[in-house]
Structures are given as structure tokens and as C-alpha cells.
Amino acid sequence: QKEVEQDPGPLSVPEGAIVSLNCTYSNSAFQYFMWYRQYSRKGPELLMYTYSSGNKEDGRFTAQVDKSSKYISLFIRDSQPSDSATYLCASPSGNTPLVFGKGTRLSVIA
């Protein structure tokens, strides 16, 4: 079983919609979580990270962690066509490289 699971989508929404992207994880040792955004044919870029349960907000983006259910969410408000990308969740496990989900492909239609 992969340690971070993510629905690959694709997810298609109209411009202005609220988008919810989700991951589940199995390793209770995961202490903090990251979201990366990857545009087509580009490298992933770090979007947000959060250290603990609860919410972290940055502009139109909110990251949420529920440690009791091992559930990670990224919400995008007022989605724009420029948000169309693949979104990957990730978490470190001790002194080892980040464990990534497979990514969810999002399309925001104008």
C-alpha cells in the first residue's frame, strides 16, 4: 500500500468554482504536509505546507489536515483557468525523501 493516496482525476470545474483536492495517508509518523502544483511539461513548485492539524490559508488557497482521519485537503476558492495543473500532496517520513501522491489533474474551464 502506497503511503500517500490521491485520486488522479481528472477533475474539471467551471471558472469561479470552489475546488477540493484530497489525499489520504497511512503513516502516523507524518508530521507535516505539502502541496505542490505542476503545470504541463514543467517541474512541480511548492504551493503550501502545513505542520499540524487545522487550516492554513494563503490567498485563494487553504490547506487542511485532519490527523484523526489521516486526511489532507487543498481548497481553491474562485478557481481560475490559470489554476489548471496537476496538484501533488507530499509528506516527509523521518530522514527520508518526501513521499508523494500520484497527483490530481485539475482543469478550470472559462
**Residue 11 burial (10 A CB sphere; 0-12, 13-18, 19+):** middle
**Where is 23: in which H helix or E strand?**
strand 19-25
Contact between 95 and other proteins per CB under 8 A: yes
Contact between 16 and other proteins per CB under 8 A: no
In the complex, minimum distance from the CB of residue 84 to other proteins, in angstroms, rounded to a whole number = 17
Distance of CA 62 to the CA centre of its chain: 10
Q: Which residues contact residue 34 at a Cβ distance below 8 angstroms, ignoring those fewer than 6 apart? A: 46, 47, 48, 49, 89, 90, 91, 98
Contact between 14 and other proteins per CB under 8 A: no
Specify the stretch interacting with other proteins by CB under 8 A; choose among 19-27, 50-58, 68-76, 89-97. Answer: 89-97
Contacts (CB under 8 A) with other proteins, residues 24-83: 34, 41-46, 49
Task: Point out which residues bind other proteins (CB under 8 A).
Answer: 6, 8, 34, 41-46, 49, 88, 90, 92-98, 100-103
